């Protein structure tokens, strides 16, 4: 899945080792200001790399990591300006998270699923409605 998404997202998606070298969780090293900021809004949490790391740890335990990965991929997609890259990312998001055969399918309303034809003419906010669910 570390193919089409931008480099800052790729590092989050490919992040394999979420523990310190001794195998323990590094959550004890958390800045109290950061955690207070995360509690204020989900956006604050998702804008902080350490927040994303901790949130992903939680979601893995809850078997729902695909939700934050979908959100991060959509945020990266919105920043894409090159039409060809946008088409590639749109297809990657669709195949990874939205198609009926998706490897990391997110739970969105059935009627909200995108038709594959819309992927041919992508626009930055095409996933916004799904992302907001």
Q: How many whole angstroms from its chain centre is CA 11?
A: 11
Report pLDDT digits (tens) over 23-70. 444 445 567 778 888 888 888 888 899 988 888 888 888 778 888 899
On the question of pLDDT at 14 being above 50, the answer is no
Print the SS3 string covering 40-103: HCHHHHHHCHHHHHHHHHHHHHCCCHHHHHHHHHHHHHHCCCCHHHHHHHHHHHHHHHHCCCCC
Report pLDDT digits (tens) over 103-124. 898 887 753 556 777 788 888 8
- Whether 38 contacts 44, CB under 8 Å: yes
Q: Which domains does the chain have, with CATH numbers?
A: 64-132 (1.10.167.10)
**pTM recorded for the entire structure:** 0.61
The pLDDT of residue 31 is 75
């Amino acid at each position: 899945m570390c193919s089409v998404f931008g480099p800052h997202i790729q590092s989050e998606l490919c992040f394999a080792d979420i523990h310190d070298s001794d195998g323990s969780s590094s959550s004890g090293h958390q800045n109290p200001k950061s955690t207070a900021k995360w509690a204020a809004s989900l956006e604050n949490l998702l804008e902080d790399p350490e927040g994303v790391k901790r949130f992903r740890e939680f979601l893995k335990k809850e078997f729902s990591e695909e939700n934050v990965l979908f959100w991060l991929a959509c945020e990266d997609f919105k920043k894409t300006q090159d039409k060809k890259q946008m088409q590639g990312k749109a297809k990657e998001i669709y195949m990874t998270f939205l198609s009926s055969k998706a490897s990391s399918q997110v739970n969105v309303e059935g009627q909200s699923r995108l038709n594959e034809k819309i992927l041919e003419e992508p626009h930055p906010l095409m996933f916004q409605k799904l992302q907001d669910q």
